[in-house]
Amino acid sequence: MLGKRIISGVIIILLSLALILIGGWVFTIGVAAILAMAAWEFAAIFEKGGYSPAKYILTAGTFLTALCAKSENDLFIRAAFCLAILSIALYHVLVYSHHQKTAGIDLAVSLAGIAFIAFTGNFLVQLRFIPEGLFWLAQCIIPAGISDVGAFFIGSLFGSHKIAPDLSPNKSWEGYFGGVFTSMLLGYGIGLLLGSHSATFSGMRGMWIGLAVGIISPLGDFTKSIFKRQFGLKNTGNLIPGHGGVLDRIDTWLIAGIISYFMIHLFFI
């Protein structure tokens, strides 16, 4: 299991970096597809619990909003979200007579999927298309991705104080701080490396982003765990060996994208 987890993690990082390097529509469509798969898994969690969210509309809406995030015109992004929300609302009105007992929760789940995956995922796309977005996105996702590895190893070796044993029994405070330190250290190193190519970047700036990402991005994992534990599920899917589903892998990136986006715009550009 550990070997599969490491190999899968490395492959995911390399594929993610390839998408970032290519950029343009290839990057946008790639990220949109990943987010759409995560949205599908999100809806499937609740289907296993006997609910009927608008899985197809949620998936299509997530894909569409991610595509529109490439646009420099915010109007397209807002229009895509409005279309997704209105389509979800209309769908649940039309099928109400077939799912009366769960209709309210079905609608809430569909809207929650838009908020948790489509909305947060939009920031990852937008990061790529700001000035020097190639570097900024690498500065964001690499520390967030590798911090999971640091947290896993430190937690496995020294973890004894559980953060939320009922919600995520394998997560310890020792592992959490190990992940924060890993993210901060990587952020500093990446900032130094990028600083040799652009005056916009530095080790200290990278360290601050890594620190913020390391502290806050695990919230994505805990949030996703609430949904899984509701129905006694270990993973959101089985697509990625050693990790589970797509949502299991990108949950921290969803939060890291938000944190990095606002930090960069408020303090660095």
Q: Share the mean pLDDT of the chain.
A: 91
Q: Are 255 and 217 in contact (CB under 8 A)?
A: yes
d(CA 108, CA 178): 36
Query: What is the mean pLDDT of the segment spanning 120-140?
Result: 94
**For residue 1, pLDDT beyond 60:** no
Q: Taking residues 114-143, what's their average pLDDT?
A: 94
Q: What is the phi-psi region of residue 71: left when phi exceeds 0, alpha when psi lies from -120 to 50, beta otherwise?
A: beta
- Tell me the C-alpha to C-alpha distance, in Å, between residue 85 and each of 44, 65, 68: 19, 11, 15
Residue 136, pLDDT score: 95
**Is the pLDDT reported for residue 149 higher than 90?**
no
* Bigger pLDDT: 17 vs 19: 19
Specify the pLDDT at position 150.
Answer: 86
Q: Is 85 exposed, middle or buried (0-12, 13-18, 19+ CB in 10 A)?
A: middle
End-to-end CA distance of the chain: 42
CA atoms within 13 A on the CB side of 12: 28
In angstroms, rounded to a whole number, what is the distance separating the alpha carbons of residues 58 and 84?
7
Q: Note whether 187 and 143 are within 8 A (CB).
A: yes
- pLDDT higher than 90, residue 89: yes
Residues 6+ apart with CB under 8 A from 19: 26, 27, 30, 31
Is residue 202 classed as helix, strand or coil in its secondary structure?
A: coil
Task: Give the model's pLDDT for residue 242.
Answer: 63
Q: What is the pLDDT of residues 105-124, one digit of tens each?
A: 999 999 999 999 999 999 99
Is there a contact between 227 and 188 (Cβ–Cβ < 8 Å)? no
Which pTM does this prediction carry? Answer: 0.92
What is the mean predicted confidence (pLDDT) over 33-46? Answer: 96
